[in-house]
Structure 1
Amino acid sequence: MKYNKINGQHFLSMVTNASIRLENEKAYVDSLNVFPVPDGDTGTNMSMTFTAAVDEVRNSKSTNIGEVSKVLAKGALMGARGNSGVILSQIFRGIAKGLEGKEEVNAYEFALSLLEGSKSAYRAVMRPTEGTILTVIREVGEKTTEYHTDDVTDLMEKVVTFADETLEKTPELLPQLKAANVVDSGGMGLLVILKGMYEALESGFKMAEKVEQKSFEEYVAARDTHTEITFGYCTEFIVLAKPENDSFRDYLESMGDSIVYVAFDDILKIHVHTDNPGLVLAEAAKMGELTKIKIENMREQHRNLQDTPDVHMEAPKSEPVVEAVKEKYAFISVSMGEGIREVFEDLGVSYVISGGQTMNPSTQDIVKAVESANAEHIFILPNNKNIIMAANQAKDISGKDVYVIPTKTIPQGVAALTAFNPEAAVETNYDALLASISTVKSGSVTYAVRDTEIEGMAVKQGDYLGLLESKIKVVKRDLYPLVDELIDTMVDEDSSSITLFYGEDVNEEEFTQFLSELEEKYEDLDVMSVAGKQPLYYFIIAVE
């Protein structure tokens, strides 16, 4: 159908349909991972980011496209997961900037907003790489502004064509893509979104049908892992007002814990665990209109989870909560595997966010941990290269004194914690933690999910893969010969220790035998093992 102009409701239908399409095709986008490992997560991250964005604006009745796009962009910002999700959120932040103040737009004005999306995405990346989602959105923005039409549907058809053509060129721009015989996964995710937006227009806003997908685990901070629940009601809401000062934040701290207080433009997002949600809402209503109110009885949820009979609960005490003493430092770390989580907690990490490959926490997950940390200075250890951008985005949003240490592996995160000195100044610690990253070599062992060729090495589905940092170094059909060879490539004359975090799929009897042989082989080194219990990776290896 032809549309000379589109308004806020048109745009909402376009992005809603795009969200459904991406959710349906996220597994395919995941499969385009350059490395044949079982944790390709680009499609999952983009889908979860975009779903969060659409959920934020789904019930909007506004016909103002500027208003709708702004709320969508905020939802994408807070829901961004992984590098691809952060870049996607920045694309739609730029689009919102291009649509700002407009009730409706024609084809050329919408094309200009796509160009703004490109500029915003490039600004967000320190070292932009061509042959990625960045290239796709840039080509789309540049070409559509040169295309003349009075029909937005026709424009979006061209947008899809331009995106598809650019995506097909990505293997020529990135040798890794060409070697793996795939196109860029982020670019493919963007193409799916753009197709979904076009199909909504072309069909007269008939929505795509959802395909049943398996649910993904929720990511939560470690603060709420205790079986005893101090405050009974998880209370979340949004205040449609810009706070004049931090007095309401102080009020929340007197009413409960697990506080998330995020001010963004003219909205205030609140999360608090309290025994008096009614009082909290009444106080919040003094600032402005309330929306998205959700109150859950956590004690009831806990009883249901534990399958225990209902018990009598005493009425909440009315005494004021004594505010905890603020610490000088707090650490937030991301990890996967119960054993690795325990290592970080033993090393003094206050909040461990469950996540890693295939389970990238969102910006909002990290913001929640930051806001809950009662400390003057907060260090974040992402421990995964795909989480660093979301961590930096959370830092910018939080308003606290936050430092992101760009750890890309679990061993780097552990090394950073051992370099920390609680008596030192924050600048001294920041420099020491940064320097510690280079003191450890990180290896990992997983398996191939498909046939491919990587840097001249033939890989068959089911092969074991030994990775040094992020590069595949060893490929074998047998597990322990591969682990032995990988460690050989990591150890040098300066090495003093080897630590193996073994995963949930490792046979302990076989590993014990291998460990004994390893200790004998490297008798001058400290050889240690930890039951990391991580999924997908048989071993994570640290050599220092």
Structure 2
Amino acid sequence: MEYLSIDGQRFYNMIVNASNKLEEQKDFVNSLNVFPVPDGDTGTNMSLTLKSAVVEISNVKGKSIDNVSKDLAKGALMGARGNSGVILSQIFRGISKGLQGKNKVNSSEFTLALEEGAKAAYKAVMRPTEGTILTIIKAAGEGAAKSKKENITELLQEVCDYSKRMLDKTPDMLPVLKKAGVVDAGGMGLLIIFQGMYEALKEGIEEVYLKKAEDIVTKSSAKSVESEEIKYGYCTEFFIHLKSSDISSFKDKLQALGDSIVVVKDEDVLKVHIHSNDPGEILSEAIKLGELSKIKIDNMRQQHRSILNADGGKTPLEDINNDSEGEGYISQESVQDKEYAFITVAAGKGIKRIFQDLGVDYVIEGGQTMNPSTEDILNCINKLNAENIFVLPNNKNIIMAANQAAELSDKVVKVIPTKTIPQGITAITVFNPGEGLEENINTMEKAISTVTTGSVTYAVRDTEIDGKDVKTGDILGIIEGKIEKVGKDIFEVCDKIISYMVKEHSELISIYYGKDCNEDEVNSFLEKLEDKYDDIDIQCYSGEQPLYYFIVSVE
């Protein structure tokens, strides 16, 4: 159908249809993740992020496209899950900026909004990598700009075609995609969103409803991308209340001082994130631009999603003592004011029980295959009465959402950047309630840097990665995010990665076996390990975690 302009209601229909389309194809997007383990979650995270955004704009009657897009951006921010979800929220933030002040827009104005979406995404990532979702949002803007169509339906068709051609080129931009024989998962997710928007206009959909959560949200697979060697040891985040406008020069200086740089400007406030080896030098440059606030420095040296309720907003918590209640575990002390409280993310009844025994106040069910949203974590924070609240993400793909929740809270919230379950357990173990806040932060961060984590799972598809030929069903031994051993037997693979992880001064091996392991076989394996490493303390727990036969740490 022909649409020379779109208003708030029409834009709402486009977005809801896009959300439903992405939900239908999220498993396909998940399958495009390069790492061949059973937890590719790009599609899941993008779908849940978009669904959260749609819930925010459910009351659209009489609203302008400006107001609808603002609410959409807010919903995406709060519901952002994983790195792909965070980037998607930035895209919507940019589109909202492009639609600002408009009751409805024509094709030229809609084109400008897409271009603003690309600008916002690229600005948020200091060193953008081509061949990713960033390339596709840029292509969408370029495709719209090249089009001369006044009919927005035809314009979006050309946007989809142009973005699809660019997506097909992503394997040539990223060798890791070519080796795996896939296009970029995040880029595919974004293309599906645009296709859903186009479909709503093409078919003239007048009424479209977001499917109920129980219909569209299913247990799915989530990703664990390859971890990279940490070149810079400190994660520094802060806000600058700008007095100077020389942002460009500041960005140039950051380039030479670190990586993983994100700089986002919102009116007169600049949010900065950078990994460097000298946080003091970063702050010295930053203070030249204005007053600093919410400074957070993490020592990084050394990694849920659960089914949403129909209201789309309930925190995905599980009662460790009584799973049937569906609420989060909360210690008796948590309802009272106290100095310290803990929130952690974990999957597997045994692992969650370990955190409970260590005094954790809330356990959010999640981790691999389940990345909780910013709002999920923030809801837990708001329920705790404590002077200082620690959040342990226990997964590298949850850290960004945890940091965002901390920033949105008016409480003192510190995210300890734990990337694995063993790191989270170690952090709580070394926590000393008799020490001050900064002393505990330093102690925990130092402790997690000494933890080496391995895991044993299975391959979900054929591929070649890390120089190894992997076939579907092979058993994979992974150390710090890299496949180190491919085999056929879970115990042989686990034994091998432990041998790689144990060093001259290693003192403790901790093993958490999953729900698919046979307890008698595990005990026999444990006896062999005790004979092999008779000078090292070995501890073994039933973690009951899904997908991973073993999670192992060596300290």
Shared fold per TM-score greater than 0.5: yes
Question: Quick one: which amino acid aligns to residue 529 of structure 1?
Answer: C
Q: In the TM superposition, what are the counterparts of 1:408-487 in structure 2 within 5 Å?
A: 408-487=419-498
TM-score with structure 2 length normalisation?
A: 0.76
- Over the matched positions of the two proteins, sequence identity in percent amounts to 56
- Bigger drift between 120-129 and 161-170 goes to 120-129
Q: In the TM superposition, what are the counterparts of 1:88-99 in structure 2 within 5 Å?
A: 88-99=88-99
Among candidates 475, 493, 502, match of residue 491 of structure 1:
502
Q: 2:382 aligned with 1:371, yes or no?
A: yes
Q: Deviations over 1:98-127 (max 9, x none)?
A: 212210111121122122222332344465
Question: Quick one: which amino acid aligns to residue 377 of structure 2?
Answer: I
SS of the residue corresponding to residue 172 of structure 2 reads: helix
Alignment partners' CA distance in 2, 1:349 and 1:478: 35
Query: Tell me, which stretches of 5 or more residues in structure 1 are unaligned?
Result: 219-291, 296-302, 307-321
Q: In the TM superposition, what are the counterparts of 1:17-96 in structure 2 within 5 Å?
A: 17-96=17-96
- Bigger drift between 60-69 and 188-197 goes to 60-69
Alignment partners' CA distance in 1, 2:334 and 2:528: 53
Alignment partners' CA distance in 2, 1:22 and 1:385: 24
Kindly state the Cα deviation for residue 215 of structure 1 after the two structures are TM-superposed.
4.2
Kindly state the Cα deviation for residue 493 of structure 1 after the two structures are TM-superposed.
0.8
Q: 2:394 aligned with 1:392, yes or no?
A: no
108 and 436 in structure 1: CA distance in 2 versus 1, 3 angstrom threshold: farther
Kindly state the Cα deviation for residue 471 of structure 1 after the two structures are TM-superposed.
1.1
Alignment partners' CA distance in 1, 2:359 and 2:429: 10
Q: 2:549 aligned with 1:538, yes or no?
A: yes
Among candidates 410, 415, 420, match of residue 404 of structure 1:
415
Partner of 1:129: 129
Alignment partners' CA distance in 2, 1:25 and 1:162: 20
Kindly state the Cα deviation for residue 406 of structure 1 after the two structures are TM-superposed.
1.7
Partner of 1:353: 364
Alignment partners' CA distance in 1, 2:484 and 2:356: 31
Q: In the TM superposition, what are the counterparts of 1:313-332 in structure 2 within 5 Å?
A: 325-332=336-343
Among candidates 538, 542, 545, match of residue 527 of structure 1:
538
Kindly state the Cα deviation for residue 435 of structure 1 after the two structures are TM-superposed.
2.5
- Bigger drift between 478-487 and 324-333 goes to 324-333
Alignment partners' CA distance in 1, 2:499 and 2:167: 39
495 and 207 in structure 1: CA distance in 2 versus 1, 3 angstrom threshold: farther
SS of the residue corresponding to residue 90 of structure 2 reads: helix
541 and 126 in structure 1: CA distance in 2 versus 1, 3 angstrom threshold: farther
65 and 483 in structure 1: CA distance in 2 versus 1, 3 angstrom threshold: same
Alignment partners' CA distance in 2, 1:294 and 1:178: 38
Among candidates 215, 218, 243, match of residue 216 of structure 1:
218
Question: Quick one: which amino acid aligns to residue 144 of structure 1?
Answer: A
Alignment partners' CA distance in 2, 1:418 and 1:123: 39
Is the Cα–Cα contact under 8 Å of residues 329 and 377 in structure 1 kept in the other structure? yes
TM-score with structure 1 length normalisation?
A: 0.78
Is the Cα–Cα contact under 8 Å of residues 62 and 68 in structure 1 kept in the other structure? no
Is the Cα–Cα contact under 8 Å of residues 381 and 406 in structure 1 kept in the other structure? yes
Alignment length (residue pairs)? 450
Is the Cα–Cα contact under 8 Å of residues 335 and 384 in structure 2 kept in the other structure? no
Is the Cα–Cα contact under 8 Å of residues 32 and 183 in structure 1 kept in the other structure? yes
Partner of 1:237: none
SS of the residue corresponding to residue 12 of structure 1 reads: helix
Partner of 2:391: 380
Q: In the TM superposition, what are the counterparts of 1:93-108 in structure 2 within 5 Å?
A: 93-108=93-108
Is the Cα–Cα contact under 8 Å of residues 99 and 113 in structure 1 kept in the other structure? yes
Is the Cα–Cα contact under 8 Å of residues 130 and 173 in structure 1 kept in the other structure? yes
Query: Tell me, which stretches of 5 or more residues in structure 2 are unaligned?
Result: 221-310, 315-321, 326-332
Alignment partners' CA distance in 2, 1:330 and 1:323: 7
Question: Quick one: which amino acid aligns to residue 450 of structure 1?
Answer: R
Higher-Rg member (1/2)? 1
Alignment partners' CA distance in 1, 2:133 and 2:216: 26
171 and 527 in structure 1: CA distance in 2 versus 1, 3 angstrom threshold: same
429 and 141 in structure 1: CA distance in 2 versus 1, 3 angstrom threshold: farther
SS of the residue corresponding to residue 449 of structure 2 reads: helix
